[in-house]
Amino acid sequence: MNNKFIITGTDTDIGKTVFSAALMLGLEEAGYSPHYWKPIQSGIEGSVDTKFVQDITNLPDERFLPEAYIFSESLSPHRAAELDDINIDMDKLENVANIPKCDGDMIIEGAGGLMVPLTRDNLQINLYKKWDIPLILCARTGLGTINHTLLSLEAIWSRDMPLKGIVFIGDENIDNIRTISEFSDVKILGHLPMLDPLDDTMLRLAFANNFNIKDFV
């Protein structure tokens, strides 16, 4: 049975894309065939996230699935879509039959945080509820993460959505991780530190040292 995960975050610029790349490599090392899909890409300056993950993992083209929507500006999807004069078809997007098919596992990276608007009347979390795919919540380790993470968990719990666990990203902060774990009783999947250099070798090593592949398969 193929695994599917939605990589979401407590905020934007959490590090979801870097963790997605690390998980791709972790699954690859374990003998799986992971695929990456970013349904909605807001912002094309520099590089889109799909290209970034492909470049940093050095995995083949067929492991990367085309976006459903790409918008020019790095803004909330609802506003980026308006500026590009594009309509996000929520009925089509919510239909699980329209999720790309692949021969292997799928890592789906969301746009920003859970409560980001996709349209003027629909939040991203509503899309995830329709899909009913297990979430991996990425959170910062630093100041403010306790509040942001517990609020995000409340939103997930109130909608009775499947949650695989929490991934922390950033400099080590043992007490913040412990506090969130004790208040939430949610599985802590691991901690991805800041990496320098940020390349496939470092990502493979960081995943092997900080995560247990059995939690993802």
What is the full DSSP assignment across 51-100?
HHHHHHHT--GGGEEPPSEEESSSS-HHHHHHHTT----HHHHH-GGGSP
For tokens 């791709």, name the residue: 24
For tokens 């009347």, name the residue: 121
Q: b/e map of 94-103 (b: 16 or more CB within 10 Å)?
A: beeeebeebe
Non-local CB neighbours of 5 within 8 Å, separated by 6+ positions = 23, 106, 107, 108, 133, 134, 135, 136, 164, 216
Q: Could you give the angle at which helices 174-184 and 145-158 cross, rounded to 10 degrees?
A: 20
Is 131 within 8 Å of 110 (Cβ atoms)?
A: no
pLDDT at 1: 60
Q: Which two structure tokens, joined as six digits, stand for 214?
A: 């059995």
pLDDT at 92: 96
Has 38 been annotated as catalytic?
Answer: yes
Is 127 within 8 Å of 40 (Cβ atoms)?
A: no
Catalytically annotated residue among 38, 51, 101, 164: 38
Please state, in angstroms and rounded to a whole number, the distance separating the CA atoms of residues 27 and 5.
12
- pLDDT tens digits for 169-202? 999 999 999 999 999 999 999 999 999 999 999 9
* Average model confidence (pLDDT) across the chain: 96
Burial class (CB in 10 A: 0-12, 13-18, 19+), 160: exposed
Confidence of residue 46 (pLDDT cuts 50, 70, 90): confident
User: How much is the average pLDDT of 124-151?
Assistant: 98
Domains and CATH numbers, the chain: 4-212 (3.40.50.300)
String of DSSP letters for 163-196: EEEEEEESS--HHHHHHHHHHH---EEEEE---S
pLDDT at 2: 83
Q: Give yes or no for residue 211 having a pLDDT over 70.
A: yes
